[in-house]
Structure 1
Amino acid sequence: MADLTKVKAIAFDLDGTLIDSVPDLAAATQATLAELGLARCSEAQVRNWVGNGARMLMKRALQNANRLANASTESTLTKSTLTESVSANEVTEAELDEAMPVFMVHYQQHLQKHSLLYDGVVETLTALKASGYPLAIVTNKPYHFTLPLLKAFEIETLFGLVLGGDSLAKMKPDPMPLNHILNEWQLEPEQLLMVGDSKNDIFAAKAAGVSSIGLTYGYNYGEDIGLSGPTAVCEQFNQILALLSSVKTKG
Structure 2
Amino acid sequence: MLDWPRSNVDAVIVDLDGTMVDTLGDFVQALQRMVADLPLPYRDFVVEQALVERLVGKGSENLIKGLLAHIDQGVAATDNVALFEQAWASYQHHYRAINGRYSEVYPGVRDALAGWQQAGLPMVCVTNKPAAFARDLLQEKGLAPFFPLVIGGDTVARKKPDPMPLLHACERLGTVPGRTLMVGDSSNDAQAARAAGCPVLLVSYGYNHGEPVDQVDADAVVDRLTQLRWI
TM norm. shorter chain > 0.5? yes
- Secondary structure of 1:136's aligned partner: strand
**Aligned runs of 1:64-83 on 2, under 5 Å?**
64-67=70-73
**Which residue does 2:96 correspond to in 1?**
108
- 1:221 aligns to what SS in structure 2? helix
User: What residue ranges of structure 1 are gaps of 5+ in the alignment?
Assistant: 68-86
In structure 2, give the amino acid aligned to 1:41: V
Query: Which structure has greater helix proportion?
Result: 1
2:193 alignment partner in structure 1: 205
- State the shift of 1:185 in Å: 2.1
Shift of 1:114: 1.2
Q: Secondary structure at the match of 1:238?
A: helix
Counterpart residue number, 1:239: 227
TM-score by length of 2: 0.91
Alpha-carbon contact 1:62-1:91 (below 8 Å) kept: no
Give per-residue Cα distances to partners, 1:166-185, cap 9 Å, x unaligned: 01111101111111122222
Structure 2 residue 15 is matched with structure 1 residue 13:
yes
Residue 93 of structure 1 and its aligned partner are, at CA, apart by 6.0
1:57 aligns with 2:63: yes
- Bigger mean CA offset, 171-180 vs 219-228: 219-228
What fraction of aligned residue pairs are identical, expressed as a percent?
A: 35
Q: Which runs of 4+ in 1 moved over 3 A?
A: 87-93
Q: Cα deviations across residues 152-201 of structure 1 (Å, max 9, x unaligned)? A: 11111111311011011111011111111222222122210000001000
Which residue pairs with 2:75 in the alignment?
88
Cα distance in structure 2, aligned partners of 1:179 and 1:150 = 22
Structure 1 Cα separation of the partners of residues 113 and 195 of structure 2: 25
TM superposition shift of 1:103? 0.6
Does residue 97 (structure 1) correspond to residue 103 (structure 2)? The answer is: no
Letter in 1 for 2:20: L
User: Secondary structure, in 3 states, of the residue corresponding to 2:210?
Assistant: coil
Q: Report how many aligned residue pairs link the two structures.
A: 221
Post-superposition shift, 1:65?
A: 1.4
Secondary structure of 1:154's counterpart equals: coil
Trace 1:186-205 onto structure 2 (pairs within 5 A): 186-205=174-193
Deviating more after overlay: 129-138 vs 150-159 = 150-159
1:148 aligns with 2:159: no
Aligned counterparts of 2:205 and 2:60: Cα–Cα separation in 1: 21
Q: Does the CA contact (< 8 Å) of 2:20 and 2:105 recur in 1?
A: yes
In structure 2, relative to structure 1, the CA distance for the partners of 1:142 and 1:90 (3 Å cut) is: closer
Contact persistence 1:34–1:40 (CA under 8 A): no
Tell me the distance in 1 between the aligned counterparts of 2:75 and 2:10: 50
Question: Once structures 1 and 2 are overlaid, which stretch shifts more, 42-51 or 204-213?
Answer: 42-51
Aligned letter for 2:141? F
Distance between the aligned counterparts of 2:110 and 2:24, measured in 1? Answer: 19
Instruction: Give the distance between the partners of 2:55 and 2:223, measured in 1 at CA.
Output: 21
Aligned equivalents of 2:61, 2:76: Cα separation in 1: 17
- Contact (CA 8 Å) 2:151, 2:169: kept in 1 or not? no
> Do the aligned partners of 2:187 and 2:216 also contact (CA within 8 Å) in 1?
yes
- Contact kept in structure 1, 2:126 and 2:169, CA below 8 Å: no
Contact 1:140/1:172, CA 8 A, preserved across alignment: yes
Name the residue aligned to 1:123. Answer: 111
Residue 64 (structure 1) shift: 1.4
TM-score normalised by L of structure 1: 0.84
Deviation of 1:98 after TM superposition, in Å, equals: 2.4
Is residue 9–residue 133 contact of structure 1 (8 Å, CA) maintained in 2? yes
Q: Any idea what the Cα deviations from partners look like across 1:206-232, whole Å, max 9, x if unmatched?
A: 000010001110111122222221111
Q: Deviations over 1:220-250 (max 9, x none)?
A: 112222222111111112112x2xx2xx3xx
Query: Structure 2 vs 1, CA of residues 40 and 234 (structure 1 numbering), >3 Å: closer, same or farther?
Result: same
Matched to 2:56, the amino acid is V
Structure 2 unaligned spans of 5+: none
- Aligned equivalents of 1:90, 1:165: Cα separation in 2: 20
